[in-house]
Amino acid sequence: MKDKIYLRLRKLFFWLFFTAFIVLAPTLVFYSLGYKFNIAIKKFQKTGTVSVKCFPKEVEVYLDNKKINDSAPCTIRELLPNTYILRLEKEDFYSYRIPVEVKSSAIAEIDVMLMPKLRNVEKLPMDLNVYNFFIMERLFGKAIIIFSDKGIYLLSEDFENIRKLADLSINKLVLGNIMGVREEKNQFVFWSKNNIWLVKMPKFQDNGDTLVLNSYSAKEVINNVFFCLKGRYLIIHDGMKIIALDAKSPDISFPIMETRSITADVFYDYDADVLYVKDKMVSRDEFSLFKINLMELIHERKTQ
């Protein structure tokens, strides 16, 4: 009797294990090949991967509000095809949320730089009413030039080494509408839509006063200003005219060319002394780029 029960139990367990093997084996094979069963559509799908790179590091990662065990940078594998909401969290940084589309057999690469929350905002140490400012590139670092109620000031980008360059008697509305500043050795130029001022600084800080000269009044509208020929001249794009103004004698100027369009654009490469002009072509309503090598012209005519 016991033997019969034992045989029946053996057969029962055999069929139970066999059935489980038949059911589970394909599932295990599918999982090993990167497939997962999608309940929503009731079939197996090939999974995808999300690769998360982040600066700074050690960032908490959430996928559809579920925290991932690994902190960023990390790789999240075996995700069913879908659109997920990826959220990155780090103390003193703003939370970063982005939708991520995961596709079968594909890697969705996410590269994020977190934005820090603002605090300890540094203020200019001097009590100035700042009308305008510009950042100027220099050989070593950058400099800031400030137009204020007390004059023109120059300082380093870390708000140190503040030096007053000159007093100003220019209307504050004009100063607030200054369009640009360019520097060349011991002089710089700034301009509004209608005027150009040339500032000549002494070579040594205690060697005389800084001179601010109203060097040019525009006939139309000043679009751009560049130093050229080692700072001796200014290239001025005034309306549809391009002129060269002698920086040492501002009363002397020379016509370079007239543009065919009011929307022409001008750029001067100071290092190569080459003038580039984007302008309309003759008898065509299309634009091209024109080039004038001033130094090359000087050398050509010098040898003639």
Tens digits of residue pLDDT in 3-22: 566 556 555 555 555 455 45
Instruction: Give the pLDDT confidence of 236-290 residue by residue, as tens digits.
Output: 999 999 999 999 898 999 999 999 999 999 999 999 999 999 999 998 889 999 9
Q: Are strands 96-102 and 66-67 parallel, antiparallel or unpaired?
A: unpaired
Q: What is the pTM of this model?
A: 0.72
Residues 210, 291, single domain; the answer is: yes
My answer on whether omega of the bond before 202 falls inside 30° of 0, hence cis, is no
Residues 15, 90, single domain; the answer is: no
pLDDT > 70: percent of the chain:
81
Query: Is residue 151 over pLDDT 50?
Result: yes
Sign of CA dihedral 133, 145, 157, 247: positive
Residues 295, 199, single domain; the answer is: yes
Boundaries of domain holding 11:
2-33
Query: Is residue 69 over pLDDT 90?
Result: no
User: Predicted confidence band at 145 (pLDDT cuts at 50, 70, 90)?
Assistant: very high
**Within-domain flag for 126:** no
Q: What does the alpha-carbon distance between residue 193 and residue 224 come to, in Å, rounded to a whole number? A: 9
Residues 215, 265, single domain; the answer is: yes
Average pLDDT over the chain, rounded to whole? 85
Tell me the average pLDDT across 34-45. 65
Q: What does the alpha-carbon distance between residue 264 and residue 288 come to, in Å, rounded to a whole number? A: 10
What pLDDT shows up at residue 30?
47
Q: Is 58 left (phi over 0), alpha (psi -120 to 50) or beta?
A: left
Residues 23, 75, single domain; the answer is: no
**Within-domain flag for 156:** no
Query: Is residue 1 over pLDDT 60?
Result: no
Cβ neighbours, 10 Å, residue 15: 10
Q: Are strands 48-55 and 107-113 parallel, antiparallel or unpaired?
A: parallel
Residues 210, 107, single domain; the answer is: no
What pLDDT shows up at residue 120?
82
Residues 184, 288, single domain; the answer is: yes
What pLDDT shows up at residue 38?
60
Residues 26, 80, single domain; the answer is: no
Lowest mean pLDDT among 29-33, 54-58, 113-117: 29-33
**Within-domain flag for 53:** yes
**Within-domain flag for 173:** no
Residues 72, 106, single domain; the answer is: yes
Q: What does the alpha-carbon distance between residue 45 and residue 189 come to, in Å, rounded to a whole number? A: 66
Q: Residue 75: which CATH number?
A: 2.60.40.10
Lowest mean pLDDT among 23-27, 33-37, 141-145, 296-300: 23-27
Instruction: Give the pLDDT confidence of 170-203 residue by residue, as tens digits.
Output: 888 999 999 999 988 888 899 999 999 998 876 6
Residues 189, 261, single domain; the answer is: yes
Residues 185, 290, single domain; the answer is: yes
Domain termination residue (choose one: 61, 87, 113): 113
**Within-domain flag for 201:** yes
Instruction: Give the pLDDT confidence of 89-111 residue by residue, as tens digits.
Output: 999 999 999 999 999 889 999 99
Residues 186, 294, single domain; the answer is: yes
Counted domains in the chain: 3
**Within-domain flag for 125:** no
Query: Is residue 51 over pLDDT 90?
Result: yes
What pLDDT shows up at residue 70?
82
